[in-house]
Amino acid sequence: MTNISIHFDALKQICPAATILTEGGKALVLLPNMQVVSAGQILTMTLLLVPFEHTGYKTRLFFERKIDGRGSNWNQHRVVDKQWWAPSWQGVPADLPWTAILLEHLRCVA
């Protein structure tokens, strides 16, 4: 079993509908219908986890829509032929398990 398989299997425990996509030969994870807790509310949306360096960040988590009042400096990005939103959230290293990367990025909108 590869590291990608181990990381992906752990994410599937959180999001059974998760799928692996590729961009530039690297694995990204589409997380459909994720429930995100933000400002005490539960929001359901699709997320895209990029567990490698992207646009100057060590890792990225993209959201299908901007969450008003949470995170900072939200910008749109085109990844895997779709528009996504991402806040500025630095310092989540790529050597963490993918579940930890996801949770660290979700802290910025909590």
Kindly report the pTM of this predicted structure: 0.94
Question: Around Cβ 51, how many Cβ atoms within 10 Å?
Answer: 27
32-72 confidence digits (pLDDT tens): 999 999 999 999 999 999 999 999 999 999 999 999 889 88
What is the average pLDDT across 88-99?
A: 95
Residue spans of the domains in the chain: they are 3-109
Tell me how far apart the alpha carbons of residues 6 and 91 are, in angstroms, rounded to a whole number: 23
| Paired tokens of 103 | 């949770």
Tell me how far apart the alpha carbons of residues 61 and 87 are, in angstroms, rounded to a whole number: 8
Q: How far does Cα 51 stand from its chain's mean position? A: 8
